[in-house]
Amino acid sequence: MPSNLLPESLMYAVYFAPRGKDRLLNLGHQIAQRHLSPQDKLIGFVGDSGAGKSLLIRGMFPGLELSNDDEGVRVRPLPLLANGDNTFFSSHTYHMDFRFESAFTQPYILVEAVRHAVEQGKRVVIEHFELIYPHLGMNAEMLIGIGEEVIVTRPNIFGPKPGDLAEIVFKSIHSRKMAHTAEDLTCKILDTRCGFEQQLIHADVKNGFVLEFPQQPEIDLRWLEENVKEYIQKKLPVSYEDEDHIKIGDELLYCTGPRIHVRNTAEIDNFRLLHEFWYDPIHKVYALVGLVGRDKIEDLKDLNKLGLYSLDN
């Protein structure tokens, strides 16, 4: 964002939601640099489990103690509640996963804690903001939805409401999970049968994935497509193994985004590869493009067509 463009001028910005820890952390850092104001006190995140909210938060707020740590460390008591009725807060920024915390604490207590912290000039970062919003009586100063895309907004009293983002990102997250699982299957075949794994550069496209090569590979893309489809048709279970691996069937695969997958390969709908490599004359790379889903494509050169996002409903 140019330095002369005030954050209040932002209506909304849309980014690809990357698949992989490093890329999500980096995107969070970019969003903070471009859109976050030092005066922001209430930051809301909207997105399904496994969408990457926690990684994005870590990228935006390095060092912030997350109360729902992905590695299973649950911070207790919740730091935001630890001060009780005291007016002193030991930290400037606090984190809350409202859906997780409401299983242990009455929602009205969480709401009052958020209001109290904001009144004291503290910053509160809330996951599943769409759930607390009806009780809170105020919108976030920055609202971020994570599905197939990351949508960044700065609402005012006229919206957009958290439910607007929730409607978009909850519908689109399945497409992202399908694309990621199909991408990992494609990489597995390229690695084990073609020896290309070390050369792969990952990029993004709507409803799919892109793999980039410095030289055009001698690969039959129809053959590659059929091999991926064979895995899909086997209806193999897909499961999280650890922070660097998933299992597809009985096979262990390296993966930088192990939580962003469908549960079974049969859920990957209408996988296909474009049957030619696309050359990028600026970056001088050859792109292999994989797509999922039933969206009709009228122009292959306009896969990332604008105008598909609406915050009106």
pLDDT in tens, 158-179: 889 999 999 999 999 999 999 9
Residue with the larger pLDDT of the pair 213 and 84 = 213
Domain count across the chain? 2
In a domain, 313, yes or no: no
Claim to verify: residue 287 and residue 189 sit in the same structural domain: yes
In a domain, 277, yes or no: yes
Per-residue model confidence (pLDDT) at position 76: 65
Last residue of a domain, one of 160, 190, 216: 160
Claim to verify: residue 202 and residue 134 sit in the same structural domain: no
In a domain, 234, yes or no: yes
Q: Who's near 190: CB < 8 A, 6+ residues apart?
A: 196, 197, 200, 211, 219, 224
Claim to verify: residue 146 and residue 178 sit in the same structural domain: no
Side-chain-side CA neighbours of 172 within 13 Å: the count stands at: 23
Per-residue model confidence (pLDDT) at position 85: 55
In a domain, 180, yes or no: yes
Claim to verify: residue 221 and residue 140 sit in the same structural domain: no
Residue with the larger pLDDT of the pair 64 and 3 = 64
User: Rounded to the nearest 5°, which phi and psi values hold at 264?
Assistant: -150, 145
At residue 83 the predicted structure's pLDDT band, cuts being 50, 70 and 90, is low
Q: What is the CATH number of the domain that holds 141?
A: 3.40.50
Instruction: Please give the mean pLDDT across all residues of the chain.
Output: 88
Claim to verify: residue 133 and residue 216 sit in the same structural domain: no
* Cα–Cα distance, 69 to 206 (Å, whole number): 30
In a domain, 187, yes or no: yes
pLDDT tens for each residue of 30-78: 999 999 999 999 999 999 988 999 999 999 999 998 887 655 455 667 8
* Cα–Cα distance, 59 to 23 (Å, whole number): 10
Claim to verify: residue 65 and residue 179 sit in the same structural domain: no
Claim to verify: residue 13 and residue 118 sit in the same structural domain: yes
DSSP state of 92: S
Residue with the larger pLDDT of the pair 303 and 291 = 291
- Residue keyed to tokens 């859920």: 267
In a domain, 252, yes or no: yes
Question: Which domain covers residue 24, as residue numbers?
Answer: 7-160
Last residue of a domain, one of 160, 185, 215: 160
Alpha helices in 106-241, H assignment, sequence order:
107-119, 129-136, 162-194, 221-233
Claim to verify: residue 77 and residue 134 sit in the same structural domain: yes
Going through the chain in order, the beta strands assigned E by DSSP cover 12-16, 42-46, 93-97, 123-127, 142-146, 149-153, 201-205, 208-213, 238-242, 245-248, 251-254, 272-273, 278-280, 285-291
Residue 128 Rama label (left phi>0; alpha psi -120 to 50; beta)? left
In a domain, 215, yes or no: yes
Claim to verify: residue 144 and residue 14 sit in the same structural domain: yes
* Cα–Cα distance, 273 to 292 (Å, whole number): 9
Per-residue model confidence (pLDDT) at position 299: 76
Checking if the pLDDT of 312 tops 90, the result is no
Per-residue model confidence (pLDDT) at position 86: 52
Q: Which two tokens stand for residue 234?
A: 């086997």
pLDDT tens for each residue of 7-36: 567 888 999 998 888 899 999 999 999 999
Which residues, in sequence order, are bridge partners of residue 204? 209
Claim to verify: residue 110 and residue 138 sit in the same structural domain: yes
Mean pLDDT of 84-98: 77
Measured on CA atoms in the order 19, 21, 26, 31, is the torsion positive or negative? positive
Q: Of 77-86, 131-140, 181-190, where does mean pLDDT reach its minimum?
A: 77-86
Counted residue by residue, the chain has a size of 313
Per-residue model confidence (pLDDT) at position 6: 54
Q: What is the CATH number of the domain that holds 249?
A: 3.30.980.10
* Cα–Cα distance, 282 to 285 (Å, whole number): 8
* Cα–Cα distance, 23 to 183 (Å, whole number): 16
In a domain, 310, yes or no: no
pLDDT tens for each residue of 238-262: 999 998 999 999 999 989 889 899 9
Q: Who's near 28: CB < 8 A, 6+ residues apart?
A: 55, 56, 57, 58, 59, 60
Claim to verify: residue 48 and residue 96 sit in the same structural domain: yes
Determine how many CB atoms are found less than 10 A away from the CB of residue 295.
13
Q: Who's near 151: CB < 8 A, 6+ residues apart?
A: 12, 13, 14, 15, 144, 145, 165, 168, 169, 309, 311
Q: Edge-to-edge strands of the sheet including 238-242?
A: 238-242, 245-248, 251-254
> Among residues of the chain, what percentage have pLDDT more than 70?
89
Claim to verify: residue 120 and residue 188 sit in the same structural domain: no
Per-residue model confidence (pLDDT) at position 5: 47
Last residue of a domain, one of 103, 127, 160: 160
DSSP state of 156: B
- Residue keyed to tokens 């103690």: 65
Checking if the pLDDT of 216 tops 60, the result is yes
Q: Of 56-60, 87-91, 147-151, 307-311, where does mean pLDDT reach its minimum?
A: 307-311
